Each structure stands twice: as structure tokens, then as C-alpha cells.
Chain A
Amino acid sequence: MRIALFVTCLADVMFPDAGKATTRLLERLGHEVVFPQAQTCCGQMHVNTGYQREALPLVRHHVEVFEPFEVVVAPSGSCVGSVRHQHAGVARRSGEDALAERADALAARTFELSELLIDVLGVEDVGAYFPHRVTYHPTCHSLRMLRVGDRPLRLLRRVRGLDLVQLPDSDQCCGFGGTFAVKNADTSTAMLADKMRNVLSTGAEVVTAGDASCLMHIGGGLSRLRTGTRTMHLAEILAATETDGR
């Protein structure tokens, strides 16, 4: 299958490993990955901070860049959530009904990575090898906007060598919330403290999730406290094989 990668602005600039891993994984599974170079950002930060007018050109650009492709994947639950649940609304708020319809049509063929693997490609065992103790944080937008359910866990359970431990209170938000982490830094940090306590209680070496943004938050806290637990994107674990030596 020919799959267009929407790498997301955050992964592009700050966490390219998530994008590289998504590419390698899909290619290993026999698919063609294309990266439309004109892509930029879905505009979620603008929408969620109240700047819908500024988000409109980003929505239009995203639709124009990805419209030619039959299947789009993003290694991010919240960016797919924005494409699926916000883009058409941003267009309608500015009276751009035609753009809204195009956005809805594109959203219907845009998938978060675990959705693509299980629902579209029909694969649970991706042939990965990752001999580490791992806990999974189901990010809020994957869980409650996209309803990915246990798809990421089903993928992780089939990774050879991986010791998967249940994260207590896993459905609780890590406190990131985009600009919330800065506007309400104290509350955000209090939420993060509880998330880290739960992560550390599992004894996991690695905490993984389907969103680089939440991992940036959790990882930023774990690193500040020198906990010795690291974060990795779900795609990085699924892309890992015996030959990686990780």
C-alpha cells in the first residue's frame, strides 16, 4: 500500500526518530511510504489556544498537501484527533463550507499509527524485538478522541522480548495539554508528578505512548528528576528488531 506520512511538526523538528521509525516499520511491512515535503503543521496548537483564524491557513494547507493521497498516517493521536475533530470546524467557523467538506473527506482516510496497523493493514505482529520492561501511557486524545482502545497494547504484546507492565491510573492525563503546560504550569506539574509516580511504580525502563508531545512532557519530568526511566515513541519500539542492538 502507498501510505503518505504526516510526520507532524513536533516530530519533524524535535523528535525525528518517531518519524524515521514509522517509515522503517511500514517499509519493513512491505508498504511504500511517501513524505509530501510541503507538509507543515495541523494547527492544533492554534485551535486549542483560541487562534482559529490563524489556524485556517494551516488547515487549508494541510488539506491541499494530503488530499491527493488515499491513506495518510501520523504517529500522533492528538494531531489525527485535530484533523478528524477540529479541521472541518475551523473551516466552518470562517464560512468555508467547501473546505470543511474536503477536510472531512481527508480526515476519513487519516489514521493514527496503531489504527493504521490494525484496522487498515490488518497486522498485530509487526515482527519487532525489544527486550525491555515497558509501560504504556494511553494519551488522552488517542483514548478519548480517537478511541484507539487496546490497539497499541495488542501491538506491544506481540513484540518479542518485551515485558509489558500495566501503568496504574493509566487513563489519567499527564498534564501536558499543549499551551496548558505553560499557562497553567503549576497544575500541569502536579498532574505530571502523579503520572511519574505511577510510571516509576511499574519499574519499567521505558514508558511509551503514541504521541511525541505527551512523551516530551513525561520525559521532561523523568529526566529532570534523573529517574533513569526513558521515553520512546510506540513507533520506535515497533520498528526495533534483533539487528538494531538497542
Chain B
Amino acid sequence: MSTYLGMPTLAPRGVGLLRGDLPFPAAARTALADTQLRRNLGHATSTIRAKRAAVVGEVGDWEELRRAGEAIKTATMARLEEHLERLEREVAARGGVVHWARDATEANRIVTDLVRATGADEVIKVKSMVTQEIGLNDALAQAGIAAVETDLAELIVQLGGDTPSHILVPAIHRNRAEIREIFRREMPDVDPGLTDDPRALAMAARSHLRRKFLSARVAISGANFAVAETGTLLVVESEGNGRMCLTLPQTLITVMGIEKIVPTWYDLEVFLQLLPRSSTGERMNPYTSAWTGVTPDDGPQEFHLVLLDNGRTATLADPVGRTALHCIRCSACLNVCPVYERTGGHAYGSVYPGPIGAVLTPQLTGVEDNPSLPYASSLCGACFDACPVRIDIPSLLVHLRARHVEEQRAHRRTPTAEAITMAAASWVMADPGRFSAAGRAARIARPFTGRRGRIRTLPPPLSAWTSARDAPAPPPETFREWWSRTRERQ
């Protein structure tokens, strides 16, 4: 491990979208009761799952590509500071200005000041996870600057006064009837006879956005990749609205997490194959925009790049947990996750939901600010299989659970009931005599047994089990008793 001076900063409280109001189990309970949400999510995730499986199946060397993606990310993270400094030099040499932001608060201030300096009071935005992470739209609004989301799904989320619930498809929790209602309510100039035909909805959004594209002087984007060797930024998207934002306005401000960097153009060969097949289930994404600094008389004439930490250096300091930074935000893990499929993204309380969110968010904020997220998984392992850069999410979840327990142990005066139970179980199970006695003692539960050899109610915390499931009655004889009786006293 490398040495560092002081603790790297975590994503600060009170700004951005990395902390929910409720722990996951409580937030999930509300989501699970919403039958329309369940229906919308089940339909959408199974559709994307099937598309992804089909296009991934076409690629003969998919496993080699995954391993290549993993290897590039691992090597890049090991020398992140060198690549970032290279990127900074190359962007500056080509007419861009690079800003370093320690956290969400700093990034929001930098962007707000840059927009203010242009005199604009409205900006158009390319779909971007990182600007949602830092709560940029709210910060701009407080400064009197209106941020207009131009990605169709982000627009739906914004007009609905909502937050994204999926990395790729932020309005996945909405169906088209709900979208029509949002448009009719929130778009001032929309046709009141608007139907829920997908094409009609898209055309309504198109005419609403086209006016914004033509009038805006400032655009704000995130980045899918930054190529250090040339200082080039890339955005991949499906609609072309991002391309409008990246080319029409006078000023472009890009905010990117420092982990988005790749050293060379050659590395993109791997990721531009992995990403679209994993995310939208397409062989190639429709629009890939790449820009390098400023090109005189072509596109934005002023370009700013904000490099955001917001807990990433702290994540990098964990030799196990750091692989969460390899994520390319494809959302394949969300679509295959049985937990996400049923709860949706809002239950995670973070802009990064699903399995990757459960391992990334607690590291950005510190595990103790999101202690329920590493437990929001049955460890079924579907996410690891789907991940295009082979992030071993189940192992990371287990690792972060251990970090949570260790931090509790370090900071609590008295252990939790769970910690006492686990310690007692360990004491019993580490010794065959004690274990065997406990096995016999389990039979005290037999009086709880119903007629059919099943237990229907148990005291807390096991009541959470018997709320919906019977528990088995302890058998009259344990296996080891049977073994002793039948095999050793013959």
C-alpha cells in the first residue's frame, strides 16, 4: 500500500444524492408495496436482460474482453495520479481549463462560478451520473440558474420532480401512461391531446428540447471516458441530444469522476465493445462523441474540465474495495439483480443503485453513512457474472459488511445484539462438545411445533422469518446422534 498524508475526504453530508432518508429494508418495504412499480420494473429489467444476453452471446471472445477490461482498469487505478496529470497537461495544451474538485461542494461551486461568469441563467445538460451524485442542479438553482436535462429519461425524471432510479434508464420506474401525465402537466406548450404512444411522447420531448438546444449558451456534461494521452473526453449515448449539447453552445463544462480515465485510445477498443452490449443490449451505441480541448470556430469555444474526487481517493485506499471504481456504469448488474428488480433504485437512497451502488455508495460516503447497503443483497452472484469488467461484487459486499462490523466494534461502547449473538454462535461452533449440546438443545423449539411438523411463529428477530415462512421443527435426533446410534454402537 502506498503512503498518504492524512485521510482522503469522503463525499460530504448535506449535498448530493448518495444518502437516503431511510435504511434499505425500510425503503424497500415501501417500494415492494407499489404494485405498478413492481410491474414496470419486472417488465423493463426482463426485456433488457434478454437483449443483453442475446448480444453478449454473439461475441466469441466475451470472456477475454471482460478480462481485458478488468486488467486495463486495474493497471490504470494503480497509477491513477500519473494518468490524471497527463490528462490535465493534454487538456490544457489543447485550450481547455482543468479544475480539481475535492468533493461535491467544491465541484458545485466551481461549476456555478463558471456559469455565472458567462452571464447565462439557463444551461442544458447531457445525461450524467456524476452531476446527479453531487446535486449540481440544486446548487445551480440556488444560484438562479436553471438546468435543463436533455436526455429523455432524465427529462421525465426532472419534470416529474423525481430522482433517477436506474443508471442507464433513470425513469425505468415510470410507464408511458405516467410519462404522458408528467408531460401534460409540466410541459407548458404540449398538445393537450397527447397520447401515450411512444413516438408521440418522443416527438413532444423533441420539440420541447429543440428550442432549448438552439437558445442555450452553456452546456454541462459528464464523461464516459477520458483518454489521458490526448486529453480527449468521450460521451456515448443513444438519442443524439448529448451531441446537441456538446456541439451547439459556446461554453462546455464537463464534470467527471477521476476514475473515468483510460490511458490510451487503444483501451477504448475494449470498453466500446463491452459497454453498449452490457448496458443497452446494442452491438454499438448510436452516438459516440469525442472532443479534445477547443477547436477554433467549431463547437464550444470555451471548455472546462472538472475532475471530481468526492470519496474516490478514499475508495482507492481500500485494496479490496477499490475495484468498485472499475465500474463503467453499464447497469448490467442492476438488470440481473433480483433485489433491484423488486425494489427499484430509490430504495438504495443513492444515485448509484443496485449491486454496484451497494458497494460504491458506502465507500464514497464512508460505510457508516450507508450501513444497510452492503446487506441489500442475497449474494446470489448474478451481478458478478454480468459485470463487463469482472467486479466481484458479492465478495465486495462481504468485505464491506466486515468493514461495517469492524467499525462498529471500534466505535461502540456496547456491542449490538447481533454482535453478541454472532460471538456466542462462534463460541459454540468452535467446539464440538458445545456444538453437539446446542444441537440437542434446539429441541426446546419442538413445543412451538404445529401439527404438521412446522413452526409458524418465532420470537424476534426470527419473527422476520416466520412472518411469511414456516420454520422447520428440529428433528427428534440430530445427524450426529443418528450416526452414533447406527454406526458406532454396532
Chain A binding surface SS class: helix
1/0 per residue B12-30: CB within 8 Å of A?
Answer: 0000000000001100110
Q: Is B28 in contact with A187, judged by CB distance below 8 angstroms?
A: yes
Complexed CA–CA distance, A78 and B402 (Å): 19
Q: Is B429 in contact with A12, judged by CB distance below 8 angstroms?
A: no
- Which residues of B3-50 have CB atoms within 8 Å of chain A's CB atoms? 24-25, 28-29, 32, 38
Cβ contact of A224, chosen from B425, B426, B468, cutoff 8 A: B468
Residue of A nearest to B432 (CB): A38
Known: A184-B28, A187-B32. A57 touches B472 (CB 8 A): no
Of the stretches B170-178, B200-208, B324-332, B380-388, the one at the interface is B380-388
Cβ contact of B469, chosen from A145, A172, A224, cutoff 8 A: A224
1/0 per residue A70-90: CB within 8 Å of B?
Answer: 000000000000000110010
Q: Is B28 in contact with A221, judged by CB distance below 8 angstroms?
A: no
1/0 per residue B453-490: CB within 8 Å of A?
Answer: 01010000110110111111011011110111001000
Q: Is A140 in contact with B378, judged by CB distance below 8 angstroms?
A: yes
Known: A54-B422, A217-B469. A188 touches B475 (CB 8 A): no
A48 in the interface (beta carbon within 8 A): yes
Q: Is A191 in contact with B422, judged by CB distance below 8 angstroms?
A: no
Complexed CA–CA distance, A12 and B477 (Å): 9
Complexed CA–CA distance, A156 and B404 (Å): 42
B398 in the interface (beta carbon within 8 A): yes
Complexed CA–CA distance, A10 and B376 (Å): 23
Q: Is B398 in contact with A176, judged by CB distance below 8 angstroms?
A: no
Complexed CA–CA distance, A145 and B483 (Å): 30
Residue of B nearest to A38 (CB): B432
B240 in the interface (beta carbon within 8 A): no
1/0 per residue B334-376: CB within 8 Å of A?
Answer: 0000110011000000000000000000000000000000111
A19 in the interface (beta carbon within 8 A): yes
Complexed CA–CA distance, A241 and B469 (Å): 31
Q: Which of A45, A185, A191: most chain B CB closer than 10 A?
A: A185
Q: Chain A residues with Cβ under 8 A from B432's Cβ?
A: 37-40
Known: A189-B469, A224-B468. A13 touches B474 (CB 8 A): yes
A152 in the interface (beta carbon within 8 A): no
Residue of A nearest to B397 (CB): A48
Q: Is A145 in contact with B468, judged by CB distance below 8 angstroms?
A: no
Q: Chain B residues with Cβ under 8 A from A16's Cβ?
A: 475, 477-479, 482
Q: Is B480 in contact with A57, judged by CB distance below 8 angstroms?
A: no
Chain B nearest CB from A218 CB (Å) reads 9
Complexed CA–CA distance, A180 and B338 (Å): 13
List 18 other contacts, CB 8 Å, given A51-B422, A181-B464.
A11-B479, A13-B442, A15-B475, A19-B482, A38-B432, A39-B432, A40-B432, A52-B405, A54-B423, A61-B431, A86-B398, A140-B379, A171-B382, A185-B467, A187-B28, A216-B471, A219-B472, A220-B469
For this complex, 5 residue pairs linking A to B, each with C-beta atoms less than 8 Å apart, are A7-B480, A144-B381, A173-B380, A181-B378, A182-B462
